[in-house]
Amino acid sequence: MDVQNSEIVELRNISKAFGGIPVLKNVTLHLRRGVIHGLVGGNGAGKSTLMKILSGVYNCDKGDMSINGQDVKFKRPSDAHARGIYLVPQEPGLFPYLTIKENVLLGLGSTLKDPVSKIRSIMEALGCDFALDQIGADLTIAKQQQVELIRGLVRECCVIILDEPTSALTSREVEALFEMLRRLKNEKDICFVYITHRLNELFDIVDELTVLQNGAIISQAPINQYTLKKVIQLMVPAGNGNGERANTNAASSGGNEDEGCPKEGSDYILEVNNLSGRGFFNVTLNLRRGEILGVTGVVGSGRTEFAESVAGIRKAFDGTITLEGKKFSPANPQDSIRRGVAYLPEDRHLHGCFLEGTVKENISSSALHRLFKFIIKKKIEVNLAKTYTRALNILTPSHDSPAKYLSGGNQQKMVFGKCLAVQPKILILDEPTRGIDANARKEIYASIQQFARQGVSIILISSDFEEIKNLSHRVFIMFQGRTVNELKKPNITLENITFSSFGYRAGADETETDQPDIEKA
Amino acid sequence: MKQKLINLILRRPELLTVVIIVLYYLCIGIVNPQFIAMDTFVRILYNGTMLILVTAGVSAVIITKNIDASIGSLLGLAATFGGSYLNTADPSLLIFIMITVGTGLLGGLFNGIGVAYCGVPSIIMTLGTLALFRGLLALYTGGSWIDTVPEWFLNFSRIPVLGLYYPTWITLILLGVLILFFGRFRWGRYIYATGNSLDGSLLQGIPVKRTVLLAFSLSGVMTGIAALIFTSQIGTIPTQAGVGMEIKAIAAAVIGGISLMGGTGSIVGAALGAVLLETISYSLVFFRVPGYWNSFISGFLLLVIVVANSRIEIYLRNEKEREIDEKVKRRYLQLAEKTL
């Protein structure tokens, strides 16, 4: 057993920062043969980044890596493949129009003598029921994942990284996958790294566990030393870092913040009843006038999909939305904007702003239909831009400078201004402070609170639990497409949010809330 | 059944091209039975060699999700350089071939380096070289035609072998080589993979830049060989040689099932597309229809095929989306029952 459990990969003091913000801090990780190593952590803990470094997608800033005792440095993923490390991404990356055989063998070179018979024997061992000449686009997600596994196995990989392999699988498919992993672990001595948000799976499949938080390892031990409760407890944010800034801010507006909190029993401006669509299921929540409603959960819990269906970007197929007492089923974003719902999208650069356009043009872009019939009157547009650059303190040389020259924080404030320019009754903010500097963050928090006091109802979607805790009057938590819990003050604590976002109730021991498998397309 | 048929057409679009060719023959044959003769087919293959070759070349580029709009000018340039060598005293066949094909190769390499290594979008790069090569040609000849191609060389393409002419045989052999290259060789597979998914190719360690360079060089070489045939078939090389060839070649490739989105289509299909266009233009000559109809019809066909294709794809995507929605809905209903 000693030989079997020998170490293959050693990561020493790995550090990595993106845009000056540290994502990994001095992480040291040992991986051994024939072991399934679980890797868990909250949003932004650095799991994916660490694995991308191990598989050659990113280079690390500091630290080193050795495989079988030899120091290595990967420049690209094919270097990692050559040393026996293969990453199975969350979304399988098959070539849609190539056959399965071509998909597996591509990029392999000519090292294998009889690759086809090797693939066949692996497929037989894994119990795959697809043919080698089917094309990639024809397979279900579960089967595409098997193809990715075969890719790794044909290359004789000794370390296979699985990034949330079960997020798109049904429970039967999950069983089959686990069966496969156990067999490969025992028969071929392969080491798996298993990343997941479904924590109960850990106790079925994983041998060792590493918990990451905020880019550092905070716990590492064999799985039998953990309980579910302990694992979640470990992932509760420590209450420093980003949130501290939000905290001081909340403290500064301290007393009047509670004042701004709308009274229990006042009318709802928005009621969502059993709304289902692709990626979310039976979402029920409500929003009062002037309320900041936090909606959170782990990445992939269906928050954005839900928000997009309220904003008219995607269609819900079941359930109702009631806006100011009237039925509301938006067919497109224009509908939503006309009814007073503005949406600030998650990805600023992709969906939020026109980088080539000027600040003025960006701010007025969603409000053109409200202000002008045919001709854009310059004076009105300039005034609009002035109003919001002043209100949000957007630092720009002039209204006519292109948006691409603004800093990330100021761009985000500009997009915020664009949403406000339509004079919304409801403002949906999806990750409003992602990737922006501390000062801009603070200013955006202040603006959110100010606009809520002026009567705008705000749905705040965020992965940052501290942000949610410090700003929200009420919090809904989503897990695998559903709203699983509603927290009111004073129950809005980091611990409660963390437990709920992994599908458990804080305090309740091992009793789980029911966890449906939501198939994501 | 309907679904299966649509799927088959999407998978093997060249089948549709074959059906259209046969239907076209039959239609013309009903009007004039003389059209359906072995001789007609031999002539179409003889006239069509140039188009078939450049279509096969440009297909390689389109499969990588790029475009080569410069082949018309490159064909003219290669023919001009080769032709002017033939006008020197005592030209050798080998050197003539080397000059003509070499010009094509260099032109293709130039395009490929611009696109793959300098990051110029392929449409801009090759529209630029379309003008550049044509300008180079005019500067070199000073606007005069080359019309003294030696008799022995002209006779070369007019000797029938086993019922077909030399150029046709060369074309068929080259097509065979290309089919083998795309079906059996690693770099042929790389060309498809690059067009399928650029990110995926990078992740699998495929040398994407060299693959794109290879595709453009292939297009250049095929254009050079087409220029050889041009010289031997036509005998004079005007400054307008090859004008409009790029449009015809791209149209033929698309008609034959090469997707402009990259990653799909076959060389056989592309060649069949070229044969279809050539059949149409031959039939127009046959009925003494004015030549300008030719261009109109190939453009019209291109648009019809592209629009039809995108309609089918949209239809299929919607079907698939609906299917997934249904599945998710059913799943939700089950869940709702369970929780009640």
For chain A, percent of residues with pLDDT exceeding 90:
15
Residue A113: per-residue pLDDT = 73
Among the candidates A423, A443, A462, a domain finishes at A423
pLDDT tens per residue across span B199-258: 888 888 888 999 999 999 999 999 999 999 999 888 888 988 999 899 899 999 998 889
Give the three-state DSSP class for A88.
strand
* Any domain includes B319: no
Q: By C-alpha distance, which of A187, A178, A176, A119 is closest to A151?
A: A119
Retrieve residue A269's tokens. 């401006």
Residue A427: per-residue pLDDT = 92
Residue A260: per-residue pLDDT = 56
Q: What is the dihedral of CA B236, B237, B239, B240, to 10 degrees?
A: 90
pLDDT tens per residue across span A218-236: 889 999 998 888 888 888 8
Residue A264: per-residue pLDDT = 66
Residue A40: C-alpha distances to residues A70, A176, A177, A234, A463 (Å): 27, 22, 19, 10, 15
Q: What is the CA radius of gyration of chain A?
A: 25
Q: In degrees rounded to 5, what are phi and psi of residue B37?
A: -150, 155
Cβ-defined contact of B204 to A97 (cutoff 8 Å): no
| Residue A331 and residue A367 share a domain | no
Partner B contacted by A91 (CB < 8 A): no
What is the edge-to-edge ordering of all strands in the sheet holding A208-213? A85-88, A159-163, A191-195, A36-41, A208-213, A216-222
Residue A263: per-residue pLDDT = 66
Q: Number of residue pairs across A and B with CB atoms under 8 Å?
A: 76
**For chain A, what is the mean pLDDT?**
83
* Any domain includes B260: yes
| Residue A95 and residue A113 share a domain | yes
The whole domain housing A87 covers 7-235
The whole domain housing B281 covers 2-294
Strand segments, DSSP code E, in B58-198 are 160-161, 164-165
* Any domain includes A100: yes
| Residue A75 and residue A194 share a domain | yes
| pLDDT tier for residue A249 given thresholds of 50, 70 and 90 | very low
Residue A160: per-residue pLDDT = 92
* Any domain includes B303: no
* Any domain includes B10: yes
pLDDT tens per residue across span B155-169: 777 777 777 888 889
**For chain B, what is the mean pLDDT?**
87
Report the alpha-carbon distance of residue A40 to residue A38 in Å, rounded.
7
Partner A contacted by B84 (CB < 8 A): no
Query: Into how many domains does chain B fold?
Result: 1
* Any domain includes A349: no
Cβ-defined contact of A276 to B332 (cutoff 8 Å): yes
| Residue A87 and residue A97 share a domain | yes
Taking contacts as CB-CB distances below 8 angstroms, the residues of chain B near A135 are 11
Lowest average pLDDT, out of A515-519, B196-200, B300-304, B310-314, goes to: A515-519
Residue A513 pLDDT > 60, yes or no?
A: no
| Residue A472 and residue A438 share a domain | yes
Q: What is the CA radius of gyration of chain B?
A: 23
Q: What is the CATH number of the domain that holds A151?
A: 3.40.50.300
Among the candidates A235, A263, A281, a domain finishes at A235
Task: Establish whether the linkage from the previous residue to A237 is cis, with ω within 30° of 0.
Answer: no
Cβ-defined contact of A96 to B324 (cutoff 8 Å): no
| pLDDT tier for residue B336 given thresholds of 50, 70 and 90 | low
Option in B205, B264, B321 nearest A77 (CB): B205
Residue B159: per-residue pLDDT = 77
Residue A423: C-alpha distances to residues A269, A271, A339 (Å): 15, 20, 10
Mean pLDDT of B137-148: 86
- Comparing A114 with B262, the larger pLDDT belongs to B262
* Any domain includes A345: no
| Residue A231 and residue A118 share a domain | yes
* Any domain includes B317: no
Chain B residue with minimal CA distance to A279? Answer: B328
Chain centroid to CA A508? 26
Partner B contacted by A102 (CB < 8 A): yes
| Residue A296 and residue A193 share a domain | no
Among the candidates A380, A399, A423, a domain finishes at A423
Report the alpha-carbon distance of residue B312 to residue B319 in Å, rounded.
10
pLDDT tens per residue across span A53-91: 998 888 888 899 999 888 988 888 888 888 889 998 887
Residue A508 pLDDT > 80, yes or no?
A: no
Option in B206, B263, B328 nearest A97 (CB): B263
| Residue A120 and residue A133 share a domain | yes
Cβ-defined contact of B192 to A521 (cutoff 8 Å): no
Give the three-state DSSP class for A173.
helix
Cβ-defined contact of B205 to A81 (cutoff 8 Å): yes
CA angle A358, A362, A365 (to 5 degrees): 135
Query: Into how many domains does chain A fold?
Result: 3
| Residue A33 and residue A181 share a domain | yes
Residue A506: per-residue pLDDT = 61
* Any domain includes A199: yes
Lowest average pLDDT, out of A102-106, A368-372, A504-508, B61-65, goes to: A504-508
Partner B contacted by A514 (CB < 8 A): yes
Taking contacts as CB-CB distances below 8 angstroms, the residues of chain B near A107 are 193, 201, 204-206
Q: What is the CATH number of the domain that holds B219?
A: 1.10.3470
Option in B200, B328, B339 nearest A95 (CB): B200
* Long-range pairs for A379-388: beta carbons < 8 A, 24 or more residues apart: A384/A360, A384/A421, A385/A359, A385/A360, A388/A363, A388/A417, A388/A420, A388/A421
* Candidates A79, A85, A94, A97, partner chain B, best to mutate (most B CBs within 10 A): A97
Cβ-defined contact of A95 to B193 (cutoff 8 Å): yes
* Any domain includes B43: yes
Cβ-defined contact of A278 to B328 (cutoff 8 Å): yes
* Candidates B196, B313, B319, partner chain A, best to mutate (most A CBs within 10 A): B196
Taking contacts as CB-CB distances below 8 angstroms, the residues of chain A near B192 are 95, 97-98, 102
Q: Is A161 exposed, middle or buried (0-12, 13-18, 19+ CB in 10 A)?
A: buried
Q: In degrees rounded to 5, what are phi and psi of residue B29?
A: -65, -35
Cβ-defined contact of B197 to A95 (cutoff 8 Å): yes
For chain A, percent of residues with pLDDT exceeding 70:
90
Sign of CA dihedral A398, A402, A407, A412: positive
* Any domain includes B18: yes
| Residue A250 and residue A231 share a domain | no
Q: In degrees rounded to 5, what are phi and psi of residue B145?
A: -85, 155
Partner B contacted by A260 (CB < 8 A): no
Report the alpha-carbon distance of residue A67 to residue A81 in Å, rounded.
12
Chain centroid to CA B77? 19
CB-CB neighbours of A257 under 10 Å: 19
* Any domain includes A139: yes
Please enumerate in sequence order all residues whose Cβ is within 8 A of that of A46, keeping only pairs 6 or more positions apart, or say none. Answer: A16, A23, A24, A27, A212, A214, A215, A216
Cβ-defined contact of B200 to A94 (cutoff 8 Å): yes
Q: By C-alpha distance, which of B110, B75, B106, B101 is closest to B230?
A: B75
Q: Are B112 and B217 in contact (CB under 8 A)?
A: yes
Q: Which helix (H) or strand (E) holds A461?
A: strand A457-461
* Any domain includes A172: yes
Mean pLDDT of A251-270: 60
Count of residues making up chain A? 521
* Any domain includes A185: yes
Partner B contacted by A172 (CB < 8 A): no
Partner A contacted by B8 (CB < 8 A): no
Residue B298 to chain A, least CA–CA distance (Å): 28
Q: Are A200 and A223 in contact (CB under 8 A)?
A: no
The amino acid at A103? N
Residue B58: per-residue pLDDT = 96
Mean pLDDT of A195-201: 86
| pLDDT tier for residue A1 given thresholds of 50, 70 and 90 | very low
Residue A507 pLDDT > 60, yes or no?
A: no
The complex's ipTM? Answer: 0.72
| Residue A260 and residue A373 share a domain | no
* Any domain includes A348: no
**Which ranges of B157-266 does DSSP label H, i.e. alpha helix?**
166-184, 186-196, 198-203, 208-234, 245-255
* Any domain includes B85: yes
| Residue A431 and residue A413 share a domain | no
Taking contacts as CB-CB distances below 8 angstroms, the residues of chain A near B329 are 276, 317-318
